[in-house]
Amino acid sequence: MSADAGTTSRLTAAFRKGRPALVAYVLAGYPDRAASLEALRAAARGGADVIELGVPYGDPLADGPVIAAAAKVAREQEGGFGLVHALQVAEAFVQDPGVPEGPPVVAMTYLNPLMRLGLSDAAARMRAAGVAGAIVPDMPPEAAGPWLRVSGGIDTVFLAAPTSTDERLEVIAGASAGFVYCVSATGVTGERESLALGLSDLVGRIRTHTSLPVAVGFGVGTAEQAAQVAAVADGVIVGSAIVRRQEDPAEVERFVRTLAVAVSGG
Amino acid sequence: MTDVLLPSAELAYSTPDAQGFYGPYGGTFVPETVVPALGELAAAYAEAIADPAFLDELIYLLRDYVGRPSPLYRADRLAEAVGLGAVYLKREDLNHTGAHKINNTIGQCLLAKRMGKKRVIAETGAGQHGVATATTAALMGLECAVFMGVEDIRRQALNVYKMRLLGAEVVPVSDGSGTLADAVTAALRHWVERVEDTFYVIGSALGPHPYPQMVRDFQSVIGSEILGQMEEKEIGRVDAVVACVGGGSNAIGTFYPFLRDVPAGERPLLIGAEAAGLGLDTDKHGAALTKGSPGVLHGFYSYLLQDDAGNPLEAYSISAGLDYPGVGPEHSYLKDEGLVRYEGVTDAEALEAFALLTRTEGIIPAIESSHALALLPRLAGELGSDAVVVVTVSGRGDKDMDIVREAGLGVG
């Protein structure tokens, strides 16, 4: 549910450090459970302000080839790997983030794994794991009623896209808690050579509807791009470029550090 | 032909609601990028079907280009062989391009043109929807790309070649099992990327709202014609109406006018044949309604073959058009409401029915349609030897020659 007026959620606070924030996406279970936990800690050490923890899913409509392929590897490990396992990894990370004050974790999952578990049970498990927020890319606000009714204590982050009308931005911003996820370009997640024109306009349009932080994702893959996005947004989300490095936690830490420096204007 | 789309005034059965729900099923569960486009599509569709000029053009093309109405043929030798009083075949196999799919592609491509889109994309399993879309795109001067799983490309080489001849680009999809579900995902993802200039022509009565409704409406010409032809031919009583269900477009097109226009007490049994593949007690089938559970896939909520973590499972059927892990949302609603019955038909039963129709009537049906035909002997047992049954033969079997030959269906 939306944060009460006058209070700032832990997730929102992570974007209010007086500089743009870095949101690092790590895919749970890739290449395996232990390595993904190490990657989370590496991202925290590298300076991620928020962790977006991806849940491997078999039909990732909004994701590009890097995350889709990694999700397949994760799901195919012995015993399978889904939402329940991802939340176990989240809990392990929250309890021992490897840095003095761990960044809040936002779970990114498609809707069906939530439904399969039962929305209420899924929300309870998220809370128990210490997850601060949820991003459900195939759940537009109009379809979110059943989830919002049971997900108290978890900030549900909705996506705004370049194709969203002002009318829809109002609905999306109004329904969001924690922050608003601004999709930089039409299409799926993944690195792009250049960032879409009009990004700053889109962020500006979203800001007219909300005081929540606006973080930009989809297509941000380099420190240079991260710096460009940081100049117009409250947060920069990097996914595929981190997942590509996830097999090597040291490389994740190094890469996240360069992103964090770029985002904070260093 | 005049009541192609317009519902009758008194609606006993009225679906979906304004948000695209059929009971709990259907809806719009897609990334935000395409939500506005779906809203535009729903508005454009509502406007189009209220416009006599749009309907006139649709009806004209269905008649003079597709060759509608398709015959309702009384198959006496088949009826005798299966032990029924009469069997009527709704001959969608005689449509231009050889299947019911073109009823829908004509409608959607007309809508695409009306919306000013110059490019259409489609997914295809057996290739029939791909060929129908490529054909319609050629007719209307639209650019066309068809997403097709690599396994289906292998199984349906002839249709792939046809699509290319027609000027369409066939985009191979190697994700997952390389079949229909993967093609739908690939097409949806592509649409998310190119939503501003591209119209996605979905081939079955599934996907996010308004697709299930739109496809049903365009396909309901099948059932409307059956009702008219029953009157013309003075077929007083029909005991059952049967169609195969993959995504379920020919079935919903067949059943919907019976649900909408025929009072419940006078309505024949409506039965959908799902792919039972190697058997419903195996994990090699495509029977989402019989063996699945509700979930979200490809933007809508419906019965679905899924694992414990909510991942879609790979469906299997000898027929490329039926191996889909989900099913159109209205079928899920109709199942729960008890308005339509759904039964599984195995590969072997479908092949047997394929051979039977071929030998008794000289009609070679699609392997998909053969699943519906396979219910006839069961119905003879259930309803008796006087019973009258209508079967929608959704397509012709030319595309299936290799599969049938591989399955060892004998010549001799």
Pull the structure tokens for residue A168: 């829809």
Mean pLDDT, to the nearest integer, of A86-106? 97
pLDDT of residue B105: 98
Q: What is the pTM of this model?
A: 0.94
Cβ pairs A/B, distance under 8 A: 122
**CA B39, B204, B108: angle at the middle one, nearest 5?**
55
Q: Which residues of chain A neighbour B298 with C-beta distances below 8 Å?
A: 59, 61
Q: Is any Cβ of chain B less than 8 angstroms from the Cβ of A115?
A: yes
Q: Which of B101, B162, B335, B399 is catalytic?
A: B101
Give the torsion sign (CA, B232, B233, B239, B241): negative
For residue B120, list its beta bridge partners: B144, B199
Residues of B in contact with A161 (CB under 8 A): 31-33, 35-36
Question: Catalytic: B123?
Answer: yes
Sign of CA dihedral A226, A229, A234, A239: negative
Whether residue B156 contacts residue B146, with contact meaning beta carbons closer than 8 Å, is answered with no
If phi > 0 it is left, if psi is from -120 to 50 it is alpha, else beta; for residue B265 that is alpha
What is the separation of C-alpha A152 from the centre of its chain, rounded to a whole number of angstroms? 19
A7 close to B (CB below 8 A): no
Question: Does residue A57 belong to the interface with chain B, where contact is any CB pair within 8 Å?
Answer: yes
Place of tokens 């299936």: B400
Decide if A119 touches B, using CB distance below 8 A. Answer: no
Beta bridge partners of A133: A106, A155
Burial of B158 (0-12, 13-18, 19+ CB in 10 A): middle
Candidates B29, B306, B307; nearest CB to A139 = B29
Contact A68 B175 (CB under 8 A): yes
Residue that is written with structure tokens 């099923």 in the block: B25
Predicted confidence band of residue A188 (pLDDT cuts 50, 70, 90): confident
* Catalytic, out of A38, A49, A52, A155: A52
Chain B residue with the nearest C-alpha to that of A146 = B24
Q: Are B222 and B107 in contact (CB under 8 A)?
A: no
Residue A223 forms contact with B (CB below 8 Å): no
State whether A112 and B296 contact (CB < 8 Å). Answer: yes
Backbone angles phi, psi at A74, to 5 degrees: -60, -45
Mark which residues 73-102 of A lie under 8 Å from B by CB.
Answer: 75, 80-84
Exposure b/e, A79-102, CB count within 10 A at least 16 = b: ebbbbbbbbbbbbbbbeebeeeeb
Q: Is A159 on the interface with B (CB under 8 A)?
A: yes
Taking the CA of residue B10 as centre, how many other CA atoms within 13 Å lie in the half-sphere pointing to its CB? Answer: 3
Tens digit of each residue's pLDDT (9 = 90 or more) over A71-86:
999 999 999 999 999 9
Q: How confident is the model at residue A3 (pLDDT cuts 50, 70, 90)?
A: very low
Q: Is A66 on the interface with B (CB under 8 A)?
A: no
Closest CA to B187 of B298, B35, B302: B298
A68/B297 CB distance under 8 A: no
Name the one residue in this structure whose structure tokens are 């486009």.
Answer: B37
Residue A2 has pLDDT above 70, yes or no: no
Chain A residues in contact with B312 by the CB 8 A cut-off are 58-59, 112
User: A189 or B389: whose pLDDT is higher?
Assistant: B389
pLDDT at B338: 97
Q: Which of A138, A161, A172 sits opposite B296 (nearest CB)?
A: A138
Answer yes or no: do B306 and A116 touch at CB < 8 A: yes
Token pair, residue B87, equals 């069997």
Cβ count within 10 A of residue B67: 14
Of A84, A139, A188, the CB nearest to B189: A188
Q: Which ranges of chain B have pLDDT less than 50?
A: 1-3, 7-10, 412
10 Å CB burial of residue B64 (0-12, 13-18, 19+) is exposed
Nearest residue, CB atoms, A188 vs list B175, B192, B311: B192
- CB spacing of A168 vs B32 below 8 angstroms: yes
Domain A19-263 has CATH 3.40.190.10: no
Task: Establish if A158 touches chain B: CB-CB under 8 angstroms.
Answer: yes
Report, in this order, helix, strand and coil percent for chain B, each rounded to 5. 45, 20, 35
- pLDDT value at position B126? 81
Least confident interval from A1-10, A39-48, B297-306: A1-10
Chain A residues within an 8 Å CB radius of B297: 59, 112
- Is there a contact between B299 and A138 if contact means CB atoms under 8 Å apart? yes
What is the rounded distance in angstroms from the CA atom of residue A69 to the CA atom of residue A66? 5
Mean pLDDT taken over chain B = 94
The pLDDT score that the predictor gives to residue B5 is 54
Residue B168 CA to its chain's centroid (Å): 21
ipTM at complex level = 0.93
Which of A186, A189, A197, A216 should we substitute to test contact with B (largest number of B Cβ atoms within 10 Å)? A186
Going by C-alpha positions, the residue among B273, B288, B394 that lies closest to residue B332 is B288
pLDDT value of residue B12: 66
Name the interface residues of B facing A (CB cutoff 8 Å): 19, 27-37, 175-176, 181, 185, 188-189, 192-196, 294-299, 304, 306-312
Residues of A in contact with B184 (CB under 8 A): none
A130 to chain B, any CB pair closer than 8 A? The answer is: no
DSSP assignment letter at B65: I
Catalytic annotation on B151?
no
| Residue A152: per-residue pLDDT | 97
**What b-and-e string marks burial along B171-180, b requiring 16 or more CB atoms within 10 Å of the CB?**
bebebbbbbb
Answer yes or no: do B28 and A140 touch at CB < 8 A.
Answer: yes
Rounded Cα distance between B187 and B180, Å, is 10
Give the best residue of A112, A135, A176, A206 to mutate against chain B (max B CB count within 10 A).
A112
Instruction: Please state, in angstroms and rounded to a whole number, the distance separating the CA atoms of residues A199 and B307.
Output: 39
Residue of A nearest to B189 (CA): A61
Is B30 in Cβ contact with A140 (below 8 Å)? yes
Give the confidence band of A7 by pLDDT, cuts at 50, 70, 90.
confident
How do strand A155-157 and strand A133-135 relate by DSSP bridges?
A: parallel
- Closest CB to B28 among A84, A143, A161: A143
Q: What is residue B410's predicted lDDT score, i.e. its pLDDT?
A: 62
